């Protein structure tokens, strides 16, 4: 009979739990109440219980006794007495969160029975919630589990106990850290909240980078709550310019003008902090070379003359001087820095034909060689010729290309050209966290990702429900309910096309859900009483309207509306005309409420 549920009265076998969902705070003690029954005699043989034990689903639903388990050593106690099978767990840990089941074995044939489904225990920690402004903050010590009535709290500032015993605390000293604990459970403190420490900035790849490369700056800071990040760049005139509000600042193809000084700022509700300045230096080939003569004009023989060559490359270019032989090298020169053109210009679409053309001013005419930069930033020789043709460009052709022009007088190489094909999003990958069935009331994260260029935009829909629509890679349901169960569609889209994927979410309701609905409906009926009295008053007033003076103003009443049922508040409360229409409207709403009550009434 292992794993099956027996119906009492037919087989007389059974395990009863007073609750299938229990929530408790970390460090506390919890009792899981339980009773069990069995037939006292079968086939003239007295039934004797030979073994009783508790086990969890963490052991793969195998009936392994908790008592010898080292994770529960000294913390588990069986409060067994006759048919009572209550389990007590002390000094709760977050790792104790699991489904617990009771199992007993008798001397009867097929006399092994497990109470399934069991009791799901959730162990949570205290948390400090922060609300505030730039000058002061309100801190509140909270737990997702119900704590004892009128509990006392202990607050700590930088680890030192404060003279505060309430659940909330107002602070203005943002340079300190704050945590809390329940009285008599001081060893189970919450995580501390504090303003961001000085942020650190990292660059990938590090050091000086070549023009056209992808570069990422990452800002990180130790803080609780998690901070938001802002990036700034130094400007020559007006100080610093705000760039982005992200933890990462990404340059997909960095250019020479991106060289400069940057810093980031981390901020949460406890304060903010600024990083040190980081300098980015972008290497790029010289694009021009100019020569000046001093002094200008005619120069006398044996006088001093200075020739100056200047260029704009980084690092500072090295210079080599030549003098033309008026007889042999007149009208001859080494190749000028080559230029690379892309045809067609603009966006490069996956599968299209693309041609790169290299050209340089040189005499004698230059020979051209093409290179591609590999993952190690080394140059890979491709082919010779002034053109590089891609008949059907693929994603594998993405990269940085350059060409080299050379003749017998010298060589200079072009800068990098970024070949970046555009393509529609691939089929998105979607995931749900936590996986499996979701307990009602918990937070659910739906994540969607897709390979695309340009980067895809993400939109979420719930199938057969047009009202639900959200944007972003992550869709968060902060407080899940049973009606959130269903199929969710993620659409990844860019200007080249779109693809979508579907993920299923199952939200399992708890016993508290029905109670909440019944409480809300009861409150609704109580609020409806003044409305019924108004109906009777209106009918009575209508009957005695013959004695009312023609110009006598009607008496006016106002009714508060329930925010969850805004259709009720649509009934005018201060009008004296259309009385019969008001009565019909109220009777209709009453019928709808009776229908809602019948839907949520226990069977």
The alpha-carbon radius of gyration of the chain (Å, integer) is 39
Determine the pLDDT at residue 579: 43
Whether 541 has a pLDDT exceeding 80, the answer reads: no
Determine the pLDDT at residue 519: 67
- Reported in sequence order, the residue ranges of 158-270 that DSSP labels E, i.e. its strands, are 160-161, 168-171, 178-182, 200-204, 209-210, 215-220, 228-235, 239-244, 248-251, 260-268
- Domain 14-124 and domain 200-283 have a common topology: yes
Section 199-212 average pLDDT = 92
Q: For residue 322, what are its two tokens?
A: 């030549």
Residue scoring higher pLDDT (15 or 301): 15
Q: Topology of domain 14-124, per CATH? A: Immunoglobulin-like (2.60.40)
Determine the pLDDT at residue 317: 87
Per-residue pLDDT band for 297 (boundaries 50, 70, 90) equals: confident
Residue scoring higher pLDDT (528 or 20): 20
Cα separation, 274 vs 176, in Å, equals 17
Tell me: the pLDDT tens digits for 447-460? 999 999 889 999 99
CATH class of the 429-508 domain in this structure = mainly beta
pTM (2 decimals)? 0.46
Tell me: the pLDDT tens digits for 111-132? 788 898 999 998 888 889 998 7
CA distances from 134 to 108, 267, 471 (A): 71, 10, 30
Tell me: the pLDDT tens digits for 30-58? 999 999 998 888 887 888 888 999 999 87
Section 306-316 average pLDDT = 89
User: Domain coordinates of the chain in residue numbers?
Assistant: 14-124, 127-182, 200-283, 331-421, 429-508
Q: For residue 19, what are its two tokens?
A: 């609750």
> Residues 571, 572, 573, CA angle at the centre, nearest 5°?
110
Q: Reply yes or no: is the peptide bond before residue 434 cis, omega within 30 of 0.
A: yes
Per-residue pLDDT band for 545 (boundaries 50, 70, 90) equals: low
Whether 444 has a pLDDT exceeding 80, the answer reads: yes
DSSP result, 81-121 = ETTEEEEEE-S--GGG-EEEEEEEEESSTT-EEE-SS-EEE
In the numeric block, the tokens 């009208």 are attached to: 331
Cα separation, 345 vs 356, in Å, equals 10
Non-local (6+) Cβ contacts of 599 within 8 A are none
Beta bridge partners of 165: none
Per-residue pLDDT band for 564 (boundaries 50, 70, 90) equals: very low
600: DSSP letter: H
CATH class of the 331-421 domain in this structure = mainly beta
**Span 200-283 CATH architecture:** Sandwich (2.60)
């Amino acid at each position: 009979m292992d794993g099956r549920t027996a119906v009492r009265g037919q087989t007389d076998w059974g395990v009863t739990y007073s609750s299938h969902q229990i929530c408790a705070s970390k460090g506390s003690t919890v009792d899981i109440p339980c009773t069990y029954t069995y037939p006292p005699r079968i086939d003239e043989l007295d039934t004797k219980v030979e073994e009783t034990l508790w086990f969890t689903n963490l052991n793969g639903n195998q009936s392994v006794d908790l008592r010898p388990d080292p994770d529960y050593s000294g913390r588990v106690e069986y409060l067994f007495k006759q048919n009572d099978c209550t389990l007590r767990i002390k000094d709760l840990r977050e790792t104790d969160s699991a489904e617990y089941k009771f199992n007993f074995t008798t001397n009867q044939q097929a006399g092994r029975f497990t109470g399934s489904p069991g009791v799901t225990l959730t162990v949570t920690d205290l948390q400090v919630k922060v609300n505030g402004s730039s000058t002061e903050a309100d801190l509140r010590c909270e737990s997702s589990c119900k704590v004892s009535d009128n509990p006392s709290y202990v607050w700590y500032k930088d680890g030192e106990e404060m003279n505060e015993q309430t659940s909330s605390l107002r602070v203005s000293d943002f340079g300190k850290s704050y945590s809390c604990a329940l009285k008599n459970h001081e060893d189970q403190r919450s995580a501390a909240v504090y303003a961001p420490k000085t942020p650190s900035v990292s660059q990938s790849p590090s050091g000086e980078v070549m023009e056209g490369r992808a570069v990422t700056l990452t800002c990180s800071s130790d803080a609780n709550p998690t901070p938001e990040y802002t990036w700034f760049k130094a400007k020559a005139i007006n100080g610093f310019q705000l760039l982005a509000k992200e933890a990462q600042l990404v340059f997909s193809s960095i250019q020479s003008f991106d060289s400069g000084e940057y810093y980031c700022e981390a901020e949460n509700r406890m304060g903010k902090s600024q990083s040190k300045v980081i300098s980015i230096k972008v290497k790029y080939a010289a694009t021009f070379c100019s020569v000046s003569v001093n002094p200008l004009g005619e120069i006398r023989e044996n006088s001093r003359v200075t020739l100056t060559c200047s260029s704009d490359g980084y690092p500072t270019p090295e210079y080599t001087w030549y003098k033309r032989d008026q007889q042999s090298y007149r009208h001859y020169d080494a190749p000028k820095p080559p230029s690379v053109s892309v045809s067609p210009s603009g966006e490069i679409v996956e599968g299209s034909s693309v041609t790169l053309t290299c050209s340089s001013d040189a005499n004698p005419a230059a020979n051209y060689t093409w290179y591609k930069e590999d993952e190690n930033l080394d140059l890979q020789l491709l082919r010779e010729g002034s053109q590089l043709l891609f008949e059907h460009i693929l994603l594998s052709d993405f990269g940085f290309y350059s060409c080299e022009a050379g003749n017998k007088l010298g060589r200079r190489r072009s800068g990098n050209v970024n070949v970046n094909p555009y393509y529609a999003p691939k089929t998105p990958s979607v995931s749900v966290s936590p996986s499996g069935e979701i307990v009602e009331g918990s937070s659910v994260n739906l994540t969607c990702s897709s390979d695309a260029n340009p980067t895809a935009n993400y939109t979420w829909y719930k199938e057969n429900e047009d009202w639900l629509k959200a944007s972003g890679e992550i869709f968060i349901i902060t407080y899940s309910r049973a009606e959130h169960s269903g199929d969710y569609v993620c659409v990844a889209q860019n200007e080249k096309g779109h693809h979508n994927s579907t993920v299923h979410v199952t939200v399992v309701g708890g016993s508290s859900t029905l109670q909440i609905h019944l409480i809300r409906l009861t409150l609704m009926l109580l609020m409806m009483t003044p409305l019924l009295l108004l109906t009777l008053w209106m009918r009575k007033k209508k009957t005695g309207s013959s004695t009312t003076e023609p110009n006598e103003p009607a008496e006016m009443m106002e009714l508060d509306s329930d925010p969850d049922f805004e259709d009720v508040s649509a009934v005018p409360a201060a009008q004296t005309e259309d009385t019969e229409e008001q009565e019909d409207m109220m009777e209709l709403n009453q019928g709808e409420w009776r229908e809602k009550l019948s839907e949520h009434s226990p069977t």
